[in-house]
Chains A and B, each alone.
Chain A
Amino acid sequence: MSELLTPARVLPGAATWSGLLRRGFALDLEDLEGGANVALLLLDAHEPTERLNVPDSLKAQHVARITAGVALYSDMGRVIASVVEDTCGWHDPLCGHGRLEELEQRFGPSSYAEERNAVRRGAREELVLELAKHGLGARDMAATVNLFSKVTVDAAGRLTFCPGSSPAGARVVLRADTDLLVLLNTAPHRLESAVDWSPKPVALNVREVGPAAPDDPVRTACPENERGFAATDAWTER
Protein backbone atom coordinates (compact mmCIF):
# COMPACT_ATOMS: atom_id res chain seq x y z
CA MET A 1 0.00 0.00 0.00
CA SER A 2 1.48 3.34 -0.96
CA GLU A 3 1.14 6.62 0.79
CA LEU A 4 -1.89 8.42 -0.51
CA LEU A 5 -1.06 11.94 0.53
CA THR A 6 1.76 14.04 -0.77
CA PRO A 7 4.23 13.92 2.12
CA ALA A 8 5.07 17.00 4.15
CA ARG A 9 2.70 19.44 2.57
CA VAL A 10 2.12 22.76 4.28
CA LEU A 11 -1.48 23.77 4.72
CA PRO A 12 -1.58 27.57 5.02
CA GLY A 13 -3.70 29.35 7.62
CA ALA A 14 -7.46 29.50 6.95
CA ALA A 15 -7.17 26.85 4.24
CA THR A 16 -9.25 23.73 3.68
CA TRP A 17 -8.07 20.30 2.65
CA SER A 18 -9.57 16.85 2.24
CA GLY A 19 -8.03 13.50 1.49
CA LEU A 20 -8.23 9.78 1.90
CA LEU A 21 -6.39 8.30 4.86
CA ARG A 22 -6.29 4.52 4.75
CA ARG A 23 -6.56 2.23 7.78
CA GLY A 24 -3.12 1.84 9.31
CA PHE A 25 -1.82 5.17 8.04
CA ALA A 26 -1.25 8.15 10.29
CA LEU A 27 -1.62 11.85 9.65
CA ASP A 28 1.06 13.83 11.46
CA LEU A 29 0.16 17.49 11.98
CA GLU A 30 2.68 20.09 13.14
CA ASP A 31 1.85 23.59 14.33
CA LEU A 32 4.65 25.41 12.51
CA GLU A 33 4.46 28.83 14.19
CA GLY A 34 2.44 28.16 17.36
CA GLY A 35 -1.20 29.08 17.93
CA ALA A 36 -2.59 27.08 15.01
CA ASN A 37 -6.09 25.62 14.97
CA VAL A 38 -7.26 22.76 12.76
CA ALA A 39 -10.95 21.87 12.61
CA LEU A 40 -11.13 18.12 11.94
CA LEU A 41 -14.04 16.22 10.40
CA LEU A 42 -13.88 12.48 9.67
CA LEU A 43 -16.21 10.38 7.53
CA ASP A 44 -15.99 6.74 6.57
CA ALA A 45 -14.46 6.73 3.08
CA HIS A 46 -16.86 4.04 1.83
CA GLU A 47 -20.07 4.92 3.73
CA PRO A 48 -20.06 8.63 4.55
CA THR A 49 -23.26 8.47 6.62
CA GLU A 50 -20.92 6.88 9.16
CA ARG A 51 -18.94 9.78 10.56
CA LEU A 52 -17.12 11.15 13.57
CA ASN A 53 -19.48 11.28 16.52
CA VAL A 54 -18.09 13.58 19.19
CA PRO A 55 -20.67 12.75 21.89
CA ASP A 56 -20.12 9.01 21.50
CA SER A 57 -16.35 9.56 21.63
CA LEU A 58 -16.54 11.68 24.77
CA LYS A 59 -18.96 9.54 26.74
CA ALA A 60 -17.24 6.23 25.91
CA GLN A 61 -14.05 7.55 27.50
CA HIS A 62 -15.49 10.12 29.95
CA VAL A 63 -13.35 12.88 28.45
CA ALA A 64 -14.02 16.41 27.24
CA ARG A 65 -10.57 16.91 25.77
CA ILE A 66 -8.71 14.99 23.10
CA THR A 67 -5.08 13.94 23.61
CA ALA A 68 -2.78 10.94 23.14
CA GLY A 69 -4.56 7.70 24.03
CA VAL A 70 -8.01 8.94 23.04
CA ALA A 71 -10.03 7.12 20.39
CA LEU A 72 -12.43 8.88 18.02
CA TYR A 73 -15.64 6.93 17.44
CA SER A 74 -18.14 6.94 14.62
CA ASP A 75 -21.87 6.92 15.25
CA MET A 76 -21.77 3.15 14.54
CA GLY A 77 -19.85 2.18 17.65
CA ARG A 78 -16.52 1.78 15.90
CA VAL A 79 -13.19 3.43 16.58
CA ILE A 80 -12.36 5.25 13.33
CA ALA A 81 -9.21 7.12 14.43
CA SER A 82 -6.82 7.30 17.38
CA VAL A 83 -4.54 9.99 18.74
CA VAL A 84 -1.26 8.07 18.93
CA GLU A 85 1.10 10.97 19.70
CA ASP A 86 0.51 14.43 21.07
CA THR A 87 2.89 17.04 22.43
CA CYS A 88 0.10 19.52 23.08
CA GLY A 89 -2.02 17.75 25.71
CA TRP A 90 -5.42 19.21 24.91
CA HIS A 91 -7.47 19.48 21.74
CA ASP A 92 -10.97 20.95 21.92
CA PRO A 93 -13.95 18.72 21.02
CA LEU A 94 -16.61 21.13 22.30
CA CYS A 95 -16.70 24.36 20.31
CA GLY A 96 -16.64 23.31 16.66
CA HIS A 97 -15.71 25.34 13.62
CA GLY A 98 -16.60 29.00 13.13
CA ARG A 99 -18.67 30.69 10.41
CA LEU A 100 -18.01 33.61 8.10
CA GLU A 101 -20.62 35.67 9.98
CA GLU A 102 -18.49 35.45 13.14
CA LEU A 103 -15.42 36.70 11.27
CA GLU A 104 -17.39 39.62 9.84
CA GLN A 105 -18.59 40.55 13.32
CA ARG A 106 -15.01 40.54 14.64
CA PHE A 107 -12.99 41.88 11.73
CA GLY A 108 -15.46 43.51 9.36
CA PRO A 109 -16.08 42.61 5.73
CA SER A 110 -13.47 40.98 3.54
CA SER A 111 -13.48 40.57 -0.22
CA TYR A 112 -11.43 38.75 -2.81
CA ALA A 113 -11.40 41.90 -4.96
CA GLU A 114 -9.61 43.83 -2.19
CA GLU A 115 -7.53 41.18 -0.54
CA ARG A 116 -7.03 38.47 -3.13
CA ASN A 117 -6.24 35.19 -1.43
CA ALA A 118 -5.90 36.77 2.00
CA VAL A 119 -9.69 37.03 1.92
CA ARG A 120 -11.31 35.71 5.11
CA ARG A 121 -13.35 32.58 4.63
CA GLY A 122 -15.56 30.87 7.20
CA ALA A 123 -14.61 27.35 8.30
CA ARG A 124 -18.21 26.12 8.11
CA GLU A 125 -18.72 27.44 4.60
CA GLU A 126 -15.39 26.03 3.42
CA LEU A 127 -16.00 22.61 4.97
CA VAL A 128 -19.43 22.38 3.34
CA LEU A 129 -17.81 23.31 0.01
CA GLU A 130 -15.14 20.66 0.52
CA LEU A 131 -17.84 18.07 1.28
CA ALA A 132 -19.56 19.07 -1.97
CA LYS A 133 -16.41 18.07 -3.89
CA HIS A 134 -17.13 14.53 -2.73
CA GLY A 135 -20.82 14.65 -3.60
CA LEU A 136 -21.72 15.45 0.00
CA GLY A 137 -23.06 18.59 1.68
CA ALA A 138 -24.39 20.33 4.77
CA ARG A 139 -26.39 17.25 5.76
CA ASP A 140 -23.08 15.39 6.12
CA MET A 141 -21.56 17.87 8.56
CA ALA A 142 -21.01 16.76 12.10
CA ALA A 143 -19.40 18.10 15.24
CA THR A 144 -15.69 18.74 14.66
CA VAL A 145 -12.59 18.61 16.86
CA ASN A 146 -10.29 21.66 17.07
CA LEU A 147 -6.72 20.35 17.04
CA PHE A 148 -4.13 22.54 18.83
CA SER A 149 -6.78 24.51 20.75
CA LYS A 150 -7.61 24.24 24.45
CA VAL A 151 -10.96 25.27 25.89
CA THR A 152 -11.82 24.66 29.54
CA VAL A 153 -15.21 24.54 31.24
CA ASP A 154 -15.85 25.96 34.71
CA ALA A 155 -18.35 24.80 37.34
CA ALA A 156 -21.06 27.01 35.85
CA GLY A 157 -20.45 25.50 32.42
CA ARG A 158 -18.71 28.57 30.98
CA LEU A 159 -16.18 28.07 28.19
CA THR A 160 -12.72 29.66 28.30
CA PHE A 161 -10.28 29.61 25.39
CA CYS A 162 -6.69 29.18 26.62
CA PRO A 163 -4.27 31.04 24.34
CA GLY A 164 -0.75 29.74 23.90
CA SER A 165 -1.59 26.09 24.55
CA SER A 166 0.14 25.02 21.31
CA PRO A 167 3.74 26.23 20.89
CA ALA A 168 5.63 26.27 17.60
CA GLY A 169 6.57 22.70 16.75
CA ALA A 170 3.65 21.11 18.60
CA ARG A 171 2.61 17.84 16.96
CA VAL A 172 -0.38 15.58 17.02
CA VAL A 173 -0.52 12.26 15.18
CA LEU A 174 -3.86 10.77 14.19
CA ARG A 175 -4.02 7.14 13.09
CA ALA A 176 -6.81 6.03 10.77
CA ASP A 177 -8.38 2.85 12.18
CA THR A 178 -10.65 2.54 9.17
CA ASP A 179 -10.46 4.08 5.68
CA LEU A 180 -11.30 7.73 6.22
CA LEU A 181 -12.24 10.82 4.28
CA VAL A 182 -10.44 13.50 6.32
CA LEU A 183 -11.44 17.18 6.11
CA LEU A 184 -9.32 19.91 7.69
CA ASN A 185 -9.75 23.65 8.00
CA THR A 186 -7.06 25.90 9.49
CA ALA A 187 -9.11 28.99 10.40
CA PRO A 188 -8.40 30.32 13.90
CA HIS A 189 -10.51 28.96 16.75
CA ARG A 190 -13.86 30.73 17.00
CA LEU A 191 -13.29 31.71 20.66
CA GLU A 192 -9.76 33.04 20.29
CA SER A 193 -9.65 36.75 20.99
CA ALA A 194 -6.71 37.94 18.88
CA VAL A 195 -7.23 41.49 17.69
CA ASP A 196 -5.81 40.76 14.26
CA TRP A 197 -6.76 38.11 11.74
CA SER A 198 -3.69 35.90 11.75
CA PRO A 199 -4.42 32.32 10.69
CA LYS A 200 -1.53 29.91 11.20
CA PRO A 201 -0.12 27.18 8.92
CA VAL A 202 0.34 23.52 9.77
CA ALA A 203 2.54 20.87 8.17
CA LEU A 204 0.91 17.58 7.17
CA ASN A 205 2.77 14.34 6.81
CA VAL A 206 1.49 10.81 6.29
CA ARG A 207 3.23 7.61 7.26
CA GLU A 208 2.28 3.98 7.55
CA VAL A 209 2.04 2.80 11.15
CA GLY A 210 -0.11 -0.31 10.70
CA PRO A 211 -3.46 -1.10 12.34
CA ALA A 212 -3.76 -1.04 16.13
CA ALA A 213 -1.93 -4.03 17.60
CA PRO A 214 -3.50 -6.15 20.38
CA ASP A 215 -1.46 -4.22 22.94
CA ASP A 216 -2.00 -0.80 21.36
CA PRO A 217 -2.26 1.78 24.17
CA VAL A 218 -5.40 3.40 22.74
CA ARG A 219 -7.07 0.00 22.36
CA THR A 220 -6.19 -1.03 25.92
CA ALA A 221 -6.94 2.36 27.52
CA CYS A 222 -10.37 1.19 28.74
CA PRO A 223 -12.83 -1.69 28.19
CA GLU A 224 -14.94 0.62 26.01
CA ASN A 225 -12.05 1.09 23.58
CA GLU A 226 -11.36 -2.68 23.53
CA ARG A 227 -14.96 -3.17 22.39
CA GLY A 228 -14.83 -0.25 19.94
CA PHE A 229 -11.66 -1.59 18.30
CA ALA A 230 -13.10 -5.12 18.18
CA ALA A 231 -16.09 -3.71 16.28
CA THR A 232 -13.75 -1.88 13.88
CA ASP A 233 -11.60 -4.97 13.31
CA ALA A 234 -14.65 -7.16 12.67
CA TRP A 235 -16.00 -4.64 10.16
CA THR A 236 -12.79 -3.85 8.26
CA GLU A 237 -11.53 -7.44 8.09
CA ARG A 238 -14.78 -8.88 6.86
Chain B
Amino acid sequence: MSTAELTASPLDPADAILDDVVQAGDGWTRVVRARQTLRIVDSHGNQAVDTLFYDAHDHAERYSAQDTISAQRGIYLTTGSRLLTGSGRALMTIVADTCGRHDTLGGACSQESNAVRYGEHTRHMHACRQTFLAQALAYGHGLEKRDLTHNVNFFMNVPVTPAGGLRFEDGLSAPGKYVELRAEVDTLVLISNCPQLNNPCNAYDPTPVRLLVFDAGAA
Protein backbone atom coordinates (compact mmCIF):
# COMPACT_ATOMS: atom_id res chain seq x y z
CA MET B 1 0.00 0.00 0.00
CA SER B 2 1.30 3.43 -0.84
CA THR B 3 2.00 5.89 1.91
CA ALA B 4 -0.46 8.73 1.83
CA GLU B 5 0.75 12.30 1.93
CA LEU B 6 -0.42 13.95 5.12
CA THR B 7 -1.15 17.65 5.36
CA ALA B 8 -1.60 19.44 8.67
CA SER B 9 -3.73 22.55 8.97
CA PRO B 10 -2.50 25.98 10.07
CA LEU B 11 -5.87 26.65 11.72
CA ASP B 12 -6.04 26.93 15.53
CA PRO B 13 -9.10 25.33 17.17
CA ALA B 14 -9.27 28.34 19.47
CA ASP B 15 -10.26 30.41 16.43
CA ALA B 16 -13.21 28.21 15.44
CA ILE B 17 -16.60 29.92 15.29
CA LEU B 18 -18.25 26.60 16.11
CA ASP B 19 -16.90 23.62 18.06
CA ASP B 20 -19.37 20.72 18.35
CA VAL B 21 -19.10 17.15 19.56
CA VAL B 22 -21.35 14.69 17.75
CA GLN B 23 -21.99 11.50 19.70
CA ALA B 24 -21.93 8.09 18.03
CA GLY B 25 -25.22 7.51 16.23
CA ASP B 26 -26.12 11.20 16.14
CA GLY B 27 -26.41 13.54 13.18
CA TRP B 28 -25.34 17.09 12.36
CA THR B 29 -26.64 19.48 9.71
CA ARG B 30 -25.26 22.88 8.82
CA VAL B 31 -24.75 25.19 5.88
CA VAL B 32 -21.02 25.83 5.65
CA ARG B 33 -20.71 29.17 3.88
CA ALA B 34 -18.42 29.70 0.90
CA ARG B 35 -14.79 30.07 2.06
CA GLN B 36 -15.55 28.74 5.53
CA THR B 37 -13.64 25.60 6.56
CA LEU B 38 -15.07 22.51 8.25
CA ARG B 39 -12.73 20.29 10.28
CA ILE B 40 -13.86 16.76 11.19
CA VAL B 41 -11.82 15.23 14.01
CA ASP B 42 -11.77 11.46 14.57
CA SER B 43 -11.46 11.96 18.31
CA HIS B 44 -11.07 8.30 19.30
CA GLY B 45 -9.85 6.76 16.01
CA ASN B 46 -11.36 4.57 13.28
CA GLN B 47 -14.81 6.12 13.46
CA ALA B 48 -16.79 6.34 10.22
CA VAL B 49 -18.23 9.78 9.52
CA ASP B 50 -20.82 9.38 6.75
CA THR B 51 -21.31 12.71 5.01
CA LEU B 52 -23.54 14.13 2.26
CA PHE B 53 -23.06 17.50 0.56
CA TYR B 54 -25.52 19.73 -1.33
CA ASP B 55 -25.45 23.16 -2.91
CA ALA B 56 -27.28 25.04 -0.15
CA HIS B 57 -29.33 26.91 -2.75
CA ASP B 58 -30.13 24.00 -5.09
CA HIS B 59 -30.33 20.60 -3.45
CA ALA B 60 -30.49 18.78 -6.81
CA GLU B 61 -26.85 19.81 -7.08
CA ARG B 62 -25.34 17.29 -4.71
CA TYR B 63 -22.11 15.42 -4.11
CA SER B 64 -21.56 12.71 -6.70
CA ALA B 65 -19.00 10.06 -5.79
CA GLN B 66 -18.71 8.91 -9.41
CA ASP B 67 -18.07 12.40 -10.79
CA THR B 68 -15.59 13.09 -7.99
CA ILE B 69 -13.51 9.94 -8.42
CA SER B 70 -13.59 10.05 -12.23
CA ALA B 71 -12.37 13.65 -12.29
CA GLN B 72 -9.43 12.88 -10.01
CA ARG B 73 -8.87 9.41 -11.57
CA GLY B 74 -8.76 7.79 -8.15
CA ILE B 75 -11.10 6.37 -5.54
CA TYR B 76 -9.58 7.81 -2.36
CA LEU B 77 -10.14 11.30 -1.05
CA THR B 78 -7.34 13.29 0.54
CA THR B 79 -5.80 16.78 0.41
CA GLY B 80 -6.53 18.35 -2.97
CA SER B 81 -9.64 16.28 -3.66
CA ARG B 82 -12.52 18.38 -4.96
CA LEU B 83 -15.99 17.13 -4.06
CA LEU B 84 -18.01 17.53 -7.25
CA THR B 85 -21.73 17.51 -7.95
CA GLY B 86 -23.42 15.46 -10.63
CA SER B 87 -23.03 18.39 -12.99
CA GLY B 88 -19.35 18.81 -12.20
CA ARG B 89 -19.34 21.82 -9.87
CA ALA B 90 -17.04 21.80 -6.85
CA LEU B 91 -18.82 22.06 -3.50
CA MET B 92 -15.82 21.64 -1.19
CA THR B 93 -12.09 21.01 -1.45
CA ILE B 94 -10.07 18.99 1.06
CA VAL B 95 -7.35 21.37 2.24
CA ALA B 96 -5.83 19.39 5.11
CA ASP B 97 -5.81 15.72 6.04
CA THR B 98 -3.79 13.97 8.74
CA CYS B 99 -5.43 10.58 8.02
CA GLY B 100 -4.59 10.34 4.30
CA ARG B 101 -7.39 8.25 2.89
CA HIS B 102 -11.18 8.46 2.93
CA ASP B 103 -13.68 6.13 1.27
CA THR B 104 -15.96 6.97 -1.65
CA LEU B 105 -17.38 3.51 -2.42
CA GLY B 106 -18.93 1.98 0.69
CA GLY B 107 -21.94 4.24 1.06
CA ALA B 108 -23.95 4.41 4.27
CA CYS B 109 -25.43 1.64 6.37
CA SER B 110 -29.20 1.37 6.49
CA GLN B 111 -31.63 -0.89 8.30
CA GLU B 112 -32.35 -2.54 4.96
CA SER B 113 -28.71 -3.08 3.98
CA ASN B 114 -27.87 -4.28 7.50
CA ALA B 115 -30.56 -6.97 7.15
CA VAL B 116 -28.92 -8.05 3.87
CA ARG B 117 -25.35 -7.95 5.11
CA TYR B 118 -25.65 -9.18 8.69
CA GLY B 119 -29.05 -10.91 8.89
CA GLU B 120 -32.64 -10.15 9.74
CA HIS B 121 -31.87 -9.81 13.47
CA THR B 122 -30.05 -6.53 12.72
CA ARG B 123 -32.95 -4.90 10.82
CA HIS B 124 -34.10 -2.71 13.70
CA MET B 125 -30.69 -1.52 14.82
CA HIS B 126 -29.82 2.14 14.38
CA ALA B 127 -28.24 2.98 11.01
CA CYS B 128 -26.79 5.96 9.12
CA ARG B 129 -29.64 6.34 6.67
CA GLN B 130 -32.11 6.63 9.58
CA THR B 131 -30.00 9.58 10.71
CA PHE B 132 -29.72 11.04 7.20
CA LEU B 133 -33.46 10.83 6.64
CA ALA B 134 -34.26 12.33 10.04
CA GLN B 135 -31.75 15.14 9.42
CA ALA B 136 -33.16 15.79 5.94
CA LEU B 137 -36.76 15.96 7.14
CA ALA B 138 -35.83 18.14 10.11
CA TYR B 139 -33.89 20.52 7.84
CA GLY B 140 -36.99 20.93 5.68
CA HIS B 141 -36.84 22.90 2.42
CA GLY B 142 -38.31 19.84 0.69
CA LEU B 143 -35.32 17.62 1.44
CA GLU B 144 -36.46 13.97 1.53
CA LYS B 145 -35.47 10.39 0.73
CA ARG B 146 -34.99 10.96 -2.99
CA ASP B 147 -32.28 13.48 -2.14
CA LEU B 148 -30.23 10.95 -0.21
CA THR B 149 -27.38 9.48 -2.20
CA HIS B 150 -23.97 7.91 -2.20
CA ASN B 151 -21.96 9.57 0.60
CA VAL B 152 -18.34 10.01 1.67
CA ASN B 153 -17.09 7.86 4.56
CA PHE B 154 -14.43 9.93 6.25
CA PHE B 155 -11.70 7.87 7.98
CA MET B 156 -12.85 4.60 6.35
CA ASN B 157 -10.47 2.44 4.30
CA VAL B 158 -12.17 0.47 1.50
CA PRO B 159 -9.60 -0.70 -1.06
CA VAL B 160 -10.33 -2.43 -4.36
CA THR B 161 -8.22 -5.43 -5.36
CA PRO B 162 -6.69 -5.78 -8.86
CA ALA B 163 -9.24 -8.55 -9.53
CA GLY B 164 -12.15 -6.23 -8.74
CA GLY B 165 -12.85 -7.29 -5.16
CA LEU B 166 -13.95 -4.81 -2.51
CA ARG B 167 -12.41 -5.02 0.96
CA PHE B 168 -13.16 -3.28 4.21
CA GLU B 169 -9.81 -2.93 5.93
CA ASP B 170 -8.72 -1.49 9.22
CA GLY B 171 -8.71 2.26 8.96
CA LEU B 172 -5.57 4.34 8.66
CA SER B 173 -7.02 6.70 11.19
CA ALA B 174 -6.11 7.12 14.84
CA PRO B 175 -7.26 9.28 17.75
CA GLY B 176 -7.07 12.97 16.89
CA LYS B 177 -6.64 12.58 13.13
CA TYR B 178 -8.66 15.07 11.12
CA VAL B 179 -9.72 16.18 7.69
CA GLU B 180 -10.49 19.76 6.68
CA LEU B 181 -12.78 20.91 3.88
CA ARG B 182 -13.04 24.42 2.47
CA ALA B 183 -16.44 25.33 1.03
CA GLU B 184 -16.25 26.58 -2.56
CA VAL B 185 -19.94 27.53 -2.47
CA ASP B 186 -22.51 27.64 0.33
CA THR B 187 -22.72 23.92 1.10
CA LEU B 188 -25.32 22.05 3.10
CA VAL B 189 -23.49 19.30 5.02
CA LEU B 190 -25.37 16.32 6.49
CA ILE B 191 -23.37 14.06 8.78
CA SER B 192 -24.26 10.73 10.31
CA ASN B 193 -21.75 9.67 12.93
CA CYS B 194 -22.05 5.98 12.11
CA PRO B 195 -23.74 3.80 14.75
CA GLN B 196 -22.71 0.48 13.16
CA LEU B 197 -22.28 -2.34 15.72
CA ASN B 198 -21.86 -5.23 13.26
CA ASN B 199 -18.63 -4.27 11.56
CA PRO B 200 -15.08 -4.64 12.91
CA CYS B 201 -13.96 -1.41 11.20
CA ASN B 202 -14.68 0.55 14.35
CA ALA B 203 -13.94 -2.34 16.75
CA TYR B 204 -17.74 -2.61 17.27
CA ASP B 205 -17.53 0.55 19.32
CA PRO B 206 -18.64 3.75 17.57
CA THR B 207 -17.26 6.89 19.18
CA PRO B 208 -17.83 10.67 19.17
CA VAL B 209 -16.33 13.05 16.63
CA ARG B 210 -15.58 16.76 16.91
CA LEU B 211 -16.62 19.28 14.26
CA LEU B 212 -15.12 22.75 13.98
CA VAL B 213 -16.06 25.54 11.59
CA PHE B 214 -13.64 28.37 10.79
CA ASP B 215 -14.38 31.61 9.00
CA ALA B 216 -12.32 32.58 5.97
CA GLY B 217 -9.08 34.20 7.06
CA ALA B 218 -8.92 32.39 10.42
CA ALA B 219 -5.42 31.07 9.66
- A residues contacting B by CB (< 8 A) are 48-49, 53-56, 58-60, 62-65, 73, 75-78, 90, 94-99, 101-102, 124, 137-144, 152-159, 190-191, 224, 227-228, 231
Contacts and interface: CB of A to CB of B under 8 A. Distances in A.
Interface of A is mostly: loop
21 contacts: A49-B145, A55-B150, A56-B113, A58-B166, A59-B113, A60-B116, A63-B166, A64-B161, A77-B113, A99-B88, A137-B60, A152-B162, A153-B75, A153-B159, A154-B162, A155-B2, A155-B159, A157-B160, A158-B73, A159-B69, A231-B112
A227 B64 contact: no
Contacts, number: 141
Contact of B105 (A48, A49, A55, A191): A55
Given A55-B105, A95-B69, A76 B166 contact: no
User: Which 7 pairs of residues, A with B, have the shortest CB-CB distance?
Assistant: A55-B107, A96-B66, A77-B112, A65-B164, A153-B160, A157-B76, A138-B60
B164 A59 contact: no
A183 B70 CA distance: 21
Interface of B: 1-2, 59-61, 64-67, 69-70, 73-76, 86-88, 101, 105-108, 110-113, 115-117, 119-120, 129, 144-150, 159-162, 164-168
Contacts of A73: 113, 116
Nearest to A125: B87
A227 B120 contact: yes
Given A63-B165, A98-B70, A99-B87, 12 more contacts: A55-B106, A55-B150, A60-B117, A62-B167, A94-B75, A95-B69, A96-B67, A153-B159, A155-B2, A156-B2, A159-B69, A191-B70
B73 A62 contact: no
Nearest to B77: A157
B166 A59 contact: yes
Contacts of B119: 227
